[in-house]
Amino acid sequence: MEPKDMDYCFLDIKTNEKFMFGLPSNIGMETGASSSSSDCVCFKQLDGDTVKDGSRRLLVAWLPGIISMYYANGTMAKKPFFDIENYLDRRGYIDQITTFGLPSFALDPSFKNNGKLYASYSKMIQGKLIHRLSEYIMTSEIKPENTERILLEIEPPYKWHNLNDIFFGIDGYLYLFNGDGGVQGDQERLAQDGKTLFGKTLRIDVDSRSDSKEYGIPPDNPFIHNTSFAPEVFAYGFRNPWRCSQDPGDHVTGEGRGRIFCADVGYHGFEEINIVEKGGNYGWSGKKGFSCFEQDICNKMDNERFPIFAFDHEQRKSIIGGEVYRRNCIPHLKGKYLFADYFVE
């Protein structure tokens, strides 16, 4: 007997002799638990099968440049899944650049067959901070840095608000979420400048190449024929998007499928959550949350979209985006967007 949904708590399953055959009678009981609490046995899925090969392994990126691998039983593999820590060499810079390192990675949708991993990272090169998006071929015989193909390289004007999250959308394209470059208040208004890649959501095709670029431009990108925008731009007007995700949708009805949720870290006032739509302008630095920031452009921006939720700094300080919960173990959360906040007094 095998449960169809490994994220569901099965009530009274201990009365099923077929399922319990050969298992100890105290399964599911924690130390000090009452006998009634053991009537429900929960099958906990540690992850969403990050590697997407049926092994149910979880991959976790660490800023120094390592991706650790956890097995379904919760134990961590002794050898990192991916390791460019020595290559990034953060020594001497950590106190100066808080987000310097490896903030995000994404496995190719065909990773099982092609072994391709994409990483966004920051590295000091000849005294300059460089943000990169690179492709790696995962093989046990070759170090990752020896397979690197650099797709995109950006030199920010300042040291914060990096090229942050990346993920493959359900359309097969790679989405990149880039901060405004880091100057306080985006004084150069890079997030509203369509020709720069700062303060933008970018969308590219890693399986093709366009002109002199190491990647292709999806033909339905919203500004592909607009000379006032870089063709990679999918949406703009972001300050420091930190953790973005795409709703897989209800597994029965498909409701919500494809929505992109993105948390944008605020500046001296408000944190916000947006649903990122093609061609949308999310307001920074004309607005922060629902309030004006730069008065001369506030409420005068084209293609403006408003947050679905914003809160002030009396409640929290630095938002961290999450995901839409689509599993079954906590039914009242199903279809809800979950997020967090990083706040240190």
Identify the weakest region by mean pLDDT among 4-8, 13-17, 31-35: 31-35
Q: How confident is the model at residue 98 (pLDDT cuts 50, 70, 90)?
A: low
Collect all residues with Cβ–Cβ distance below 8 Å to 272 and sequence separation of at least 6.
263, 264, 266, 288, 289, 307, 309, 310, 319
Provide the whole-model pTM.
0.84
Write the pLDDT tens digit of every residue in 34-91: 444 444 444 444 444 567 666 778 898 988 899 999 887 778 899 999 999 998 887 6
If one compares 191 and 55, the residue with the highest pLDDT of the two is 191
Residue 140 pLDDT greater than 80, yes or no: no
In the prediction, which pLDDT does 161 show? 74
Tokens of 236: 């703009």
In the prediction, which pLDDT does 157 show? 79
Q: Which residues pair with 104 in a beta bridge?
A: 120
In the prediction, which pLDDT does 267 show? 80
Distances (CA, A) of 20 to 24, 32, 73: 8, 22, 20
Phi-psi region of 307 (alpha: psi -120 to 50; beta: other; left: phi over 0): beta
User: 156-341 belongs to which CATH class?
Assistant: mainly beta
Q: Are 300 and 288 in contact (CB under 8 A)?
A: no
Tokens of 284: 């920074």
If one compares 187 and 138, the residue with the highest pLDDT of the two is 138
In the prediction, which pLDDT does 96 show? 55
In the prediction, which pLDDT does 314 show? 77
Residue 6 pLDDT greater than 50, yes or no: no
How far apart CA 37 and CA 27 sit, in angstroms, is 11
Q: Where along the chain do its domains lie?
A: 9-42, 156-341
In the prediction, which pLDDT does 139 show? 83
Write the pLDDT tens digit of every residue in 10-24: 444 555 555 444 444
Query: C-alpha angle with apex 243: 173 to 7, nearest 5 degrees?
Result: 85
In the prediction, which pLDDT does 302 show? 93
Residue 119 pLDDT greater than 60, yes or no: yes
Identify the weakest region by mean pLDDT among 133-137, 222-226, 268-272, 297-301: 268-272
